[in-house]
Amino acid sequence: MAKKVLVIGGVAAGMSAASQAKRRSPDTEVVVLESGLDVSYGACGMPYNISDPKREMQDLVVITAGQFREKRGLDVRLEHRAGEIDRSNKTVKGMSPDGNFEIGYDKLVIATGARAVVPDLPGIDLDNVYTFHTLEDGRRLKQALKKFDKPARVLLAGAGYVGLELADALASLGHHVTMIKRKPKLLSWMDQALEDRLLKELEKNSVDLVTGAGLDSIEKSGDLLLVKAGPNNFSADLAVVAVGIRPNSEIASAAGLDTGRFGEIMVDEELKTNDPDIYAAGDCADAFHVVTGKRAWIPLALRANRAGKIAGANTVGAGLKAPPVAGTQVFKLFSLEVAKSGLSLDQARAGNFEPVSIVIHASNRGHAFPGAGKMSVELVADKRSGRLLGGQIVAEEGAAHRIDTIAAALAAKMSAREFGGLDLAYAPPFGPTWDPLLVAATQLIKKLEA
């Protein structure tokens, strides 16, 4: 049993790990080193907080460092940036406001998360150029938006789901939003028929989208920013760079811990690294994919919380195994719910499957029930085995929870035929007798057996 557990990093994975270790072993000393001032907050709520001027970003704080100390008995040390792991002596060195520190451990959890990608290009460090990943990023952007007594022109670089959520928030406030993206597609994993609905939704809400144009440079001209993106030139009051994230894993790789393609720390099912006394969890670490069985880096909130909890429990001898991930995700884009779980068609091809896909468009409510809208569903299965590999849904209503049915089917390793035989709930306010998922499965089975 570890006498001292040291956790590098707070927020979802770090505080879950620390809390779980202390709960399971009250006599164990648990120390958390957090480089910033926030240790527990709902980062996924940041775009929605931006869209509500009456709320403060601070409202997203779940538990303060003081509450962790007082109520859970954790030694939480803010503004303590870990800089080096000495595996031989089992110590961590770093910097704090009081100077250098060195602290020992019996078991170590690395929960350093990820950071926003900041391209190395001219003008990226100018005033009114923001990233949007941490709570402090959210505070800065929200404060900046308060300066404008009329709609601002906002240049948003990047169009992943966080960027799209932010475009929704900014446009809903009346700001003029232009999104630029280097790649030609909006979302690389999305079927084009479904993506077309997102493109129409952006157009309907006056969000300009320019694809094939990545951010090249930013200049200041008076109060304006002049942004160059490929052959295009834009002027903006402020710019937000949301072109992706990367794991904060440098401290791990410098200590000789194995890392993957994106720099993510490689862990086993118990969240152990290649050092048996060091665990890693959250956005800095990898996972195993439920469909492929291979390693994957899919940084999402539930995995971070769950992995942190399991890693913390295992530092005090629990021996738990983390379940695989399906990459289940959902976001709102104005009136649309957009959801995905498992593999897309291209991802399935890359995974050496022989994929077959089907796209259907069906009503999301029963026949003649008022307020019905269109639900677009794509399902992907393997021609050789018949196994369901993934799915995507876009709808005004009903996508967010139906995607969980697909996620459960993937975890159960269902075939398309088994999925099509599910006894799903029916009532006219929620869907037709033949649910869109069952309609899609029926069509997919026909294509598989053709």
Residues with catalytic roles: 44
Q: Which DSSP string do the residues of 319-380 spell out, in sequence order?
A: ---PPPB---EEEEETTEEEEEEE--HHHHHHTT--EEEEEEEEESS-TT-TT--EEEEEEE
Strand pairing report for 388-395 and 374-382 = antiparallel
CA distance 428 to 23: 46
Dihedral sign computed on CA atoms, order 416, 431, 336, 242: negative
What are the strands of the beta sheet with 217-221, ordered from one edge? 217-221, 224-229, 232-236
Instruction: Count the alpha carbons within 13 Å of 226 in the hemisphere toward its beta carbon.
Output: 5
CA distance 310 to 154: 41
CA distance 237 to 292: 45
Contacts of 310 (CB under 8 A, 6+ apart): 20, 270, 271, 281, 318, 320, 321, 322
Query: Which residue in 416, 413, 409 sits closest to 449, CA to CA?
Result: 416
Q: Cβ–Cβ contacts within 10 Å for residue 217, how many?
A: 14
Residue positions counted in the chain: 450
Helix (H, G, I), strand (E, B) or coil at 203: helix
Tell me the helices (H) and strands (E) count for the chain, helix number first.
12, 25
- The two tokens of residue 120 are 């190395």
Which helix (H) or strand (E) is 139 found in, with range?
A: helix 135-145
